[in-house]
């Protein structure tokens, strides 16, 4: 089995796991990963995370040309923006996860720090998450908005739409986006309660202890 074949299988296995646990639904969500030759594997347009075919993933070469497989997701500008601005990005995942979307609808959410500091794990895996405004699905302006962050954020939340996370590899990206959804779920469940958030000193200690990329 070649390295690319293993990557194709892993992408589809992880996508199905996300789908089976309800983190995305129907034909929503998209996933991409860097190949060893600098190209990309991308989930096709209109495809379901529950039924991705490893052989039909969209294949791009290192120059960005589509060379094999089905047509890619319409959110390619979003994926490309992360790869163009974050040299360490090896994979990008976008979901329509319920609690993250629900939290994005709340009027008082901090645009520069989308997730409240409820546990250390979202801080460790995501850093600060930027809430971006609503864009029409597939709008290239989403990619422009990510490029405007100049590679300083590994995760964004598209308001009324869903989260997008870049990771060093496809497993890291999937783990991080799951943590984003879990933290958003906690935020929704505790909304209106007198919550004991992590204080600034505790957050700073986590950032320092785990060498978290933390854009002030």
Give the span between the Cα atoms of 29 and 209, in whole angstroms.
33
Q: Is 121 a catalytic residue?
A: yes
Residues with Cβ within 8 Å of 76's Cβ and at least 6 positions away in sequence, in order, are 42
Residues with Cβ within 8 Å of 5's Cβ and at least 6 positions away in sequence, in order, are 54
* H or E stretch covering 46: none
- Considering the candidates 3, 4, 111, 121, report the single residue annotated as catalytic: 121
* H or E stretch covering 167: strand 162-167
- Considering the candidates 3, 4, 75, 215, report the single residue annotated as catalytic: 75
> Is there a contact between 8 and 41 (Cβ–Cβ < 8 Å)?
yes
Q: Is 3 a catalytic residue?
A: no
Q: Which residues are catalytically annotated?
A: 75, 121
């Amino acid at each position: 089995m070649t390295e690319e074949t293993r990557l194709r299988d892993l992408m589809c296995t992880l996508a199905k796991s996300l789908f089976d646990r309800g983190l995305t639904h129907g034909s929503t969500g998209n996933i991409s990963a860097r190949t060893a030759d600098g190209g990309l594997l991308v989930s096709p347009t209109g495809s379901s995370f529950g039924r991705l075919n490893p052989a039909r993933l969209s294949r791009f070469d290192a120059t960005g040309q589509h060379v094999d497989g089905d047509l890619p997701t319409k959110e390619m500008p979003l994926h490309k923006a992360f790869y163009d601005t974050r040299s360490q990005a090896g994979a990008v995942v976008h979901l329509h996860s319920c609690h993250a979307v629900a939290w994005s609808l709340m009027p008082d959410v901090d645009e520069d720090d989308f997730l409240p500091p409820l546990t250390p794990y979202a801080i460790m895996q995501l850093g600060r998450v930027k809430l971006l405004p609503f864009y029409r699905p597939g709008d290239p302006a989403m990619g422009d908005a990510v490029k405007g962050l100049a590679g300083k954020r590994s995760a964004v939340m598209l308001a009324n739409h869903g989260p997008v996370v870049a990771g060093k590899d496809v497993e890291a990206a999937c783990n991080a986006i799951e943590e984003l959804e879990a933290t958003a779920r906690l935020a929704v469940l505790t909304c209106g309660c007198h919550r004991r958030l992590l204080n600034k000193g505790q957050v700073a200690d986590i950032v320092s202890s785990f060498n978290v990329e933390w854009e002030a």
